[in-house]
C-alpha cells in the first residue's frame, strides 16, 4: 500500500487540484511515492470541521495498514475569520473558539494516528478590494466580509496553537505579504489563490514535509524507475 498525505481544509484546499493548484502540484511531486488525498470542504470553518472529523477519518481499519497518513495539512481559518456582522457572518467562529477547535482537531488526529506529521497552515492574507469586487452573493453593505486584519489575528492564533501542540505551521498570512503586489499577484478574488499563490503554498508545504523527513530523497519509490530497469533484462527488475 502506498502511503498517504491528506489535505484537510476549506475551499483553498478543495480547489487545490485546479489549474496550477498546490494540491495537484504535491500529487505530481510525489507521483511515484505518495497518494495525496483531497479532503477540502468549501466554506467550512473549524467548528464544522470538528463536527465531521470523526466521520471523515474513521478509526483505523483492519488491513488498511493502520490507515495512518504520513502527513496531514490542516488549513482552516479563512472562513472562521469572516466578520461576525457582515455578509458571511454564518461562517464566523470567534477567535478563542477557533483556537480551541484547532486544538481539538490536532488532538483528534494525534490520538488516531500518533505518527502522522500534522502541518497547520494559517489563513492567507485578504485583499479587501478583491473581496468587494468579487462578493459571494449579495453584499449591499459596500463593506468587505473579511479583512486582512482579522485574517492576521486568526493566523497569529493558528501559529500559537502550533506552538502549544508542537506541530509544524506555515505562516501563510505573513509569507504571502512578502510577495510584491501580493494582493493581485497571489489572490484572484481577494481570498482564493492564483497560480503564484498556489506555487507559494506548494513550495512551503514541500519544505515543511521535507523538514519532517518526508521528501523524494527519503520516501521509497513505488516499483522500479525506468532508469533502474536493465534494458538487456527488464523483467529482472520485477523479481521480488
Site for its own copies, residues 128 to 157, rule: CB under 8 A: none
**Which cell goes with 126?**
485578504
Please check whether residue 208 is in contact with residue 170, taking contact to mean a CB–CB distance below 8 angstroms. Answer: yes
Query: CB count, 10 Å around CB of 180?
Result: 5
Enumerate the β-bridge partners of residue 6: 37, 72
By CB under 8 A, tell whether 84 contacts its own copies.
no
Complex with its own copies: residue 94 or 163, whichever CB lies closer: 94
Concerning whether 189 is annotated as a catalytic residue, the answer is yes
- Site map 56..75 versus its own copies, x via CB under 8 A: x-x--xxxx-----------
Binding test (CB under 8 A) with its own copies, winner from 3, 43, 135, 212:
43
Per CB under 8 A, the segment of 28-36, 111-119, 144-152, 205-213 that binds its own copies is 28-36
By CB under 8 A, tell whether 231 contacts its own copies.
yes
3-class state of residue 116 by DSSP:
coil
Catalytic residue among 35, 171, 189, 222, which?
189
Residue with cell 455578509: 87
Nearest approach, Cβ of 4 to its own copies (angstroms)?
10
Strands (E), the chain: 4-9, 35-40, 71-75, 117-121, 168-170
Catalytic residue among 11, 174, 195, 215, which?
11
By CB under 8 A, tell whether 220 contacts its own copies.
no
Using alpha carbons only, how large is the chain's radius of gyration in Å? 19
Binding test (CB under 8 A) with its own copies, winner from 114, 140, 178, 238:
238
Please check whether residue 23 is in contact with residue 17, taking contact to mean a CB–CB distance below 8 angstroms. Answer: yes
Binding test (CB under 8 A) with its own copies, winner from 141, 160, 163, 223:
223
Per CB under 8 A, the segment of 43-51, 121-129, 175-183, 204-212 that binds its own copies is 43-51
**Which cell goes with 111?**
490520538
Site for its own copies, residues 89 to 128, rule: CB under 8 A: 90-91
Whole-Å CA distances, 83 to 86, 114, 148, 178: 6, 35, 11, 24
Concerning whether 134 is annotated as a catalytic residue, the answer is no
- Give Cα 21 to chain centroid, integer Å: 11
Concerning whether 92 is annotated as a catalytic residue, the answer is no
Length of the chain: 240
Instruction: Tell me how far apart the alpha carbons of residues 231 and 228 are, in angstroms, rounded to a whole number.
Output: 9
Residues that bind its own copies (CB under 8 A): 1, 14-15, 17-21, 23-25, 27-28, 31-32, 35, 37-38, 40-44, 47-48, 51-52, 55-56, 58, 61-64, 90-91, 223, 225-226, 229, 231-232, 234-235, 238
Active-site residue numbers? 11, 189, 192
Amino acid at each position: 500500500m502506498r502511503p498517504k498525505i491528506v489535505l484537510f481544509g476549506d475551499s483553498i484546499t478543495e480547489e487545490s487540484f485546479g489549474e496550477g493548484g498546490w494540491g495537484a502540484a504535491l500529487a505530481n511531486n510525489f507521483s511515484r511515492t505518495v497518494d495525496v488525498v483531497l479532503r477540502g470542504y468549501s466554506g467550512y470553518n473549524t467548528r464544522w470541521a470538528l463536527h465531521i472529523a470523526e466521520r471523515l477519518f474513521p478509526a483505523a481499519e483492519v488491513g488498511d495498514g493502520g490507515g495512518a497518513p504520513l502527513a496531514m495539512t490542516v488549513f482552516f481559518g479563512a472562513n472562521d475569520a469572516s466578520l461576525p456582522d457582515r455578509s458571511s457572518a454564518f461562517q464566523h467562529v470567534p477567535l478563542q473558539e477557533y483556537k480551541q477547535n484547532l486544538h481539538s482537531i490536532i488532538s483528534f488526529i494525534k490520538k488516531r494516528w500518533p505518527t502522522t506529521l500534522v502541518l497547520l497552515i494559517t489563513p492567507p492574507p485578504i485583499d479587501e478590494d478583491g473581496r468587494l469586487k468579487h462578493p459571494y452573493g449579495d453584499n449591499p453593505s459596500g463593506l468587505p466580509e473579511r479583512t486582512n486584519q482579522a485574517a492576521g489575528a486568526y493566523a497569529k492564533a493558528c501559529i500559537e496553537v502550533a506552538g502549544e501542540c508542537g506541530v509544524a505551521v506555515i505562516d501563510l498570512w505573513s509569507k504571502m505579504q512578502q510577495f510584491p503586489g501580493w494582493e493581485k499577484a497571489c489572490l484572484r478574488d481577494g481570498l482564493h489563490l492564483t497560480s503564484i499563490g498556489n506555487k507559494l503554498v506548494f513550495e512551503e508545504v514541500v519544505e515543511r514535509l521535507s523538514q519532517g523527513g518526508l521528501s523524494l530523497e527519503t520516501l521509497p519509490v513505488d516499483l522500479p524507475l525506468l532508469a533502474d530497469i536493465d534494458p538487456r533484462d527488464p523483467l529482472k527488475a520485477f523479481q521480488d
